[in-house]
Each structure stands twice: as structure tokens, then as C-alpha cells.
Structure 1
Amino acid sequence: MIRVLLVDDHAVVRMGLRMLLEPNTKMEVVGEASEGNEAIQRALELKPDVVLMDLSMPHGKDGLSATIELKKSLPETEILILTMHDDEEYLFRVIQAGASGYILKSAPHEELLSAIESVATGRAYLYPTATKRLMQEYVEKLNQGGNMDTYSLLSDREKEVLTLIAKGYTNKDIAEQLIISVKTVETHKSNLMEKLQMKTRPELVKYAVQKGLLDYGV
């Protein structure tokens, strides 16, 4: 049996996935979570074979951050990203974060079942057009002589928060400037520090300088 943990911020989506997977004699849904922090806790408790992870969860830790942390704590657990985003930017972030697969929510249910089986047996899974995009990007990177940078893991909002933190703004200042709550700023800060594998503000400042983010003239 393939033991699966469902992670999605919408209860109705989790219910639909459970109804889809439970009749399959090869799979067992061992638990559910509604955001990244809960997913990590439940995964540590249940030790699932596969975590079916939503990418965009606005409350708590997002799917990308949760994937990075889970792969550190449970390297044997495979993570399959299930998302509505048919976007190469998300695709490359997911692969770099350590996920074993990426499938769209619009995919036929047979394809989802096949994807879960694939990652559970140690194989990577990407929907067909994503494979082509990934190969094209890889060839381009080789031709440029460059490597993918952890900066590409950050969302646009996390990049904004990183820049403002490095410029010396407090969480309250950032919240006012971006018109979001202080708690949301703290969540973005936590997520970006985890993605960049940094723990202190000086590390962030140094990184921001290296990335050329502190152009005060802009």
C-alpha cells in the first residue's frame, strides 16, 4: 500500500482527493493537513510514502517552504506537488526544492493515480509539457554556463520582503509599506529564510548586497 498524506487549504479539495484515492487498492490516505506547518507535523507523525502537496496555501507555510523542510526531515518521503499553476517559474522552484513530481489539478484522475505510483517507486513525474520546458531550461543554463540560484525559489512577495528587511525596515514598516499584516510579514520572512537557508538578518543583508537588491536609487 502507498500511504498518502493530503495537503490542501480547501477541505472540499481534500475530500475529493480522498474519494478518488480510497477506492484504489494500492493506496491508503493516512491523513490530511490544511497548510505547510500542519503538513510537516502530520508527516513526522505518520511517515507517509507520498505527500500530495498543494503549492499555494495563503495561511501558514506555503507548499514550497514545507517541501524544503520536509525533505530535510524525511528524505525518504516523496512529495508530489498538485497545483493549478501551469507556469515554468513554479515548476523550476518545485524541482529545486526537492519535490519528486509536479501535476496540475486539471489533470485526469488516471494521470494523478499514475503520478502517485511513479513517485512512490522513486521515479520523477512531470506532466508532458513540463518535461519539455525543463529540458529547454536545462540546455539554456548549460549554454550560459550558469546554475539555478536559490533566489528563484522566492515568490515575488518574498523578494519584496527580503529587500525591505535588508534595507533595515522593521516588520511593522514593511507591513505598512506593502499593505499587509505584521503576521503576514513574519510568515513571508520565515519562509524566505528557510528557502535561503539563513537564520539571521546580517546573512540576509549580505545576500541582498550580493544579489544587487540594495539599490536605494530605485
Structure 2
Amino acid sequence: MANDSKKLSVLLVDDEERFRQGLRTLLNFYSINSALPVEVIGDADSVEQVLKFTAQKCPDLILLDMQLKGCDGITVLASLKETAYTGKVLVLSAHQEDDWIFRAMQAGAAGYVFKNRVATQLCEAIDTVTRAEIYLPSEVASRFFRFFQAYSDSCLKACHEVHLTEREQEVLYWLTQGASNEEIAKHLYVTVATVKAHLTSIFEKLKVTSRTQAIVAALKLGLVHA
């Protein structure tokens, strides 16, 4: 780490209090043994708490679960991006599916650790992301980059050709998952009116007039994966 004399401030974000307590114990162990000088300055279990805390304290690092009360980690990452948060976010998740990893990294995560590997990988992961590098476990890296290449060659290229914004891509993703306007608004931490505005723009760009047509067009054009 660049400056061992200054402790790294950390925010724990998980909806399970027992898991947060376990992280505190592990991080305290690292700090006491000088393996990683860190200080847990708070915890949160919802996107509202995360945004309030980061605005007040701006932690150097956020350890983020991918499933929280009323939302997922992607929503938190997107919301942090909109606030211009300057710290790093390291995802700790039970989800090991390629699409979850890719979406988290695409949304701005600096690294991804499976929860059942936290005890053996967390110290290295934190040290890696605080050096402005990306952390992915070896068992994930090759799968991730294969998924990334496939996605880049199809979805990302298609979205660019249709001129969808990043937020419109997120709205379209949730639309294809069958989410209502209210559910999309909740996932993306925006108002229903904002979702409707994005859908209007998406419909215009896809040259469709309904949600069903938009879903069909999105799948046909490769804007999302089935």
C-alpha cells in the first residue's frame, strides 16, 4: 500500500449483520498484524445508507455485497458513480455467475471476491485495488475475460450502434427481466418519471411502440443476452 502510516478507511455494506461482524474481525486481525492497516468507519445495509455515509465520510474503500435490502449491488455502484465517489469498491458476493461478475465490473467495481473465499483472498484483494489495479481471483479471471470479449463483440457494439446511453442500457436490462416501471425505478434508485423518460427514448431509438416490442428488438439486436 502506498502509505502504511495512514489507515485505509473502510465502509462495510451487507444486509447480514453477522457477516459484517465477521469482516470487522478479519480486518481488525489484518490491522493488528500490520498486514493491512485498515479502519472500519461504518456499515450499511441499503443504498440510502451507503449514499448518506459516503457523502459524509467518503471512505477510501467500500466492501459491497451484491444483494441488499430492497436493491442489488449494481444499483449501489450506479448510484455511487452518479455522486462522483472517488474511492474504490470491492464486491464480496455469494454470486459466482459470470454475468453477475461482468455487470459488477462494468458498473465500476474494482474487484470481485466470492464470499466463500473471503478469508483467503480479502487481504490480497484490498491491497490490489488500493494500488489502482483490478482484482479478480485466478479461478474467475479467464472466465470473466472470455465473457467480456463475447459481450463486447455483441451487446456493447450493438448498444453503441443504437446510441443507447449507459442508463438506458440499465433500464433496458431490467425491462427484459420483466420488471415494472416501479421496480426499475427501485433497482436504479431513480423516479418512475425518469424511468418513463428513458423508456420513451429507448422506444424511439429501437423504433418500437411497446415494452414487448422493445424486449424482442433488444434480444434480436443483441443489446442484452437472453
Shorter chain as denominator, the TM-score bin is 0.7 to 0.9
Instruction: Judge which range, 3-12 or 130-139, deviates more.
Output: 130-139
State the match for 2:21 in structure 1: 15
State the match for 1:159 in structure 2: 177
State the match for 1:52 in structure 2: 63
Q: Give the number of equivalent residue pairs.
A: 191
Preserved CA contact (<8 Å) 1:96 1:153: no
Any residues of structure 2 matched to 1:56-67 within 5 Å, and which?
A: 56-57=67-68, 59-67=69-77
Secondary structure of 2:40 counterpart: strand
Any residues of structure 2 matched to 1:164-179 within 5 Å, and which?
A: 165=181
- Say yes or no: does 1:77 pair with 2:78: no
- Relative to the length of structure 2, the TM-score reads 0.72
State the match for 1:113 in structure 2: 123
Gaps of 5+ in 1: 166-185
The one of 40, 45, 48 aligned to 1:29: 40
Gaps of 5+ in 2: 1-6, 32-36, 160-165, 217-226
Distance 2:207 2:188 in 1: 15
Distance 1:55 1:211 in 2: 34
Instruction: Judge which range, 78-87 or 32-41, deviates more.
Output: 32-41
Distance 1:211 1:132, change over 3 A: farther
State the match for 2:134 in structure 1: 124
State the match for 1:189 in structure 2: 185
Aligned-pair CA distance for 1:18: 0.5
What is the percent sequence identity of the aligned residues?
A: 26
Aligned-pair CA distance for 1:144: 5.1
Q: Which runs of 4+ in 1 moved over 6 A?
A: 152-155
- Relative to the length of structure 1, the TM-score reads 0.75
- Residues 111-144 of structure 1 show CA distances to partners (whole Å, capped at 9, x for unaligned) of 1111112112211111222211222123334655
Cα RMSD, aligned residues only: 2.9
